[in-house]
């Protein structure tokens, strides 16, 4: 090996070592940096290998890219102190909101838990198991008076400090069925809770967020980006929430308010409802359908819709920790991400839906999710199939 190559190799190693030392000295005081030193070292060594083994141009190019990736990654890991920050969480009776409230309370946040029923079991459990910093607020997000009253109580308590974050979590899924079968009142109800409710809460509390230069975190869904059969009502409302959040992210940046969108996959929450509620939805669908539509689909097909809910619950994860940690990052990171996708393979499916040709992504999703076990009555008739 020539003297020039040896000298170049040593210079590369020295540069990589200097990079690692610089980055570590900057981030060593951050409290949540477990494992970051290993990441720094690995990236630094990778940069050194690139510089030593490739041509000077490509080696330097990859070295710069490694520096950029390392800086980007570590910037997202710098955490702000909790201090006396206050957070409002909607839909805290059960599910995501309930667990988020308990986790944030343990971290030391002042938590305002908005609930649909302040006398319900979920609200009582929060009062019983959380600290005195947590306050339960009666807050139906579709009721303007309740939202206004909650704002007054929050403002009175936070005073001049402002509100650090609003987490719009309240949501309903309704009864999953083919889009043609879902009654219009169900579409309106889903939009009222999942979209208009979140918009109203956001507009009401934004002055407090602007004062603190805080965070707006909206819980959307994987369904907002991945078309899934029988979820047209729910997914449409969540897609509207995602776009609203994206626009607000741009508009609020000048105020120093950061907006994060959480798009979770399947988790075992109580959003699916109960078997009694399913039967009520089935009856409502069959009573409101025009005779021709009911004849084409058939009652047997409609009665199989509940199997979809059962399958979702079976495949859903009981472990909420991926979502909880993403919410924590959105609230506490100095540079939070714009999008989070907690859940098994959620990020992959969102990429498939947005990047691949539509026909291919639809085919992959159908193969993965499995075809429905039953077909509408009209499509099951031999004569009808031949005619088509």
Catalytic residues: 234
Residue where the block lists tokens 């909206």 = 218
DSSP 278-338: HHHHHHHHHHHS-HHHHHHH-HHHHHTHHHHHHHHHHHSBS--HHHHHHHHHHHHBSS--S
DSSP 8-state assignment for residue 76:
T
7 CB neighbour count, 10 Å cutoff: 10
User: Do the Cβ atoms of 108 and 80 come closer than 8 Å?
Assistant: no
Instruction: Give me 88's structure tokens.
Output: 């409002």
Task: State the Cα–Cα distance between residues 172 and 375, nearest whole angstrom.
Answer: 27
Task: State the Cα–Cα distance between residues 231 and 143, nearest whole angstrom.
Answer: 25
Task: State the Cα–Cα distance between residues 94 and 107, nearest whole angstrom.
Answer: 19
Helix (H) or strand (E) segment spanning residue 219 = strand 215-219
Task: State the Cα–Cα distance between residues 102 and 126, nearest whole angstrom.
Answer: 7
Task: State the Cα–Cα distance between residues 324 and 332, nearest whole angstrom.
Answer: 12
Helix (H) or strand (E) segment spanning residue 27 = helix 3-27
Within its chain, how far is the Cα of 348 from the centroid? 14
Task: State the Cα–Cα distance between residues 300 and 282, nearest whole angstrom.
Answer: 11
Q: What is the 3-state secondary structure (H, E, C) of 171-196?
A: CCCCCCCCCCCCCHHHHHHHHHHHHH
């Amino acid at each position: 090996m020539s003297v020039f190559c040896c000298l170049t190799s040593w210079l590369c190693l020295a540069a990589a070592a200097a990079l690692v030392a610089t980055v570590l000295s900057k981030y060593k005081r951050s409290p949540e940096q477990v494992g970051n030193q290993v990441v720094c070292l690995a990236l630094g060594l990778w940069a050194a290998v690139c510089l030593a083994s490739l041509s000077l141009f490509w080696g330097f190019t990859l070295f710069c890219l490694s520096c950029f990736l390392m800086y980007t990654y570590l910037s997202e890991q710098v955490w702000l102190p909790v201090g006396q920050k206050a957070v409002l969480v909607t839909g805290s009776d059960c599910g995501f909101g309930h667990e988020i409230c308990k986790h944030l309370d343990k971290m030391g946040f002042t938590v305002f838990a908005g609930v649909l029923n302040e006398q319900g079991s979920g609200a009582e459990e929060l009062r019983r198991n959380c600290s005195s910093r947590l306050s339960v607020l009666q807050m139906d997000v579709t009721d303007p008076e309740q939202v206004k009253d909650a704002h007054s109580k929050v403002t009175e308590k936070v005073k001049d400090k402002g509100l650090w974050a609003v987490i719009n979590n309240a949501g309903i899924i309704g009864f999953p069925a083919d889009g043609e079968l879902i009654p219009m009142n169900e579409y309106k109800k889903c939009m009222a809770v999942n979209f208009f409710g979140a918009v109203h809460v956001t507009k009401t509390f934004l002055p407090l967020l602007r004062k603190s230069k805080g965070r707006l975190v909206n819980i959307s869904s994987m369904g907002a980006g991945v078309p899934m059969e029988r979820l047209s009502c729910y997914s449409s409302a969540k897609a509207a929430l995602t776009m609203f959040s994206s626009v607000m992210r741009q508009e609020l940046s000048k105020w120093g308010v950061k907006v994060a969108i959480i798009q979770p996959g399947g988790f075992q929450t109580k959003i699916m409802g109960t078997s009694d509620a399913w039967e009520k939805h089935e009856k409502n669908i069959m009573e409101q359908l025009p005779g021709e539509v009911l004849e084409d689909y058939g009652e047997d097909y409609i009665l199989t819709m509940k199997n979809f809910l059962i399958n979702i619950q079976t495949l859903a994860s009981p472990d909420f920790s991926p979502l909880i940690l993403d919410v924590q990052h959105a609230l506490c990171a100095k540079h939070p991400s714009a999008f989070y996708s907690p859940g098994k393979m959620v990020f992959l499916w969102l990429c498939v839906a947005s990047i691949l040709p539509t026909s291919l992504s639809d085919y992959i999703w159908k193969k993965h999710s499995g075809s429905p076990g039953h077909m509408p009555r009209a499509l099951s008739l031999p004569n009808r199939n031949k005619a088509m």
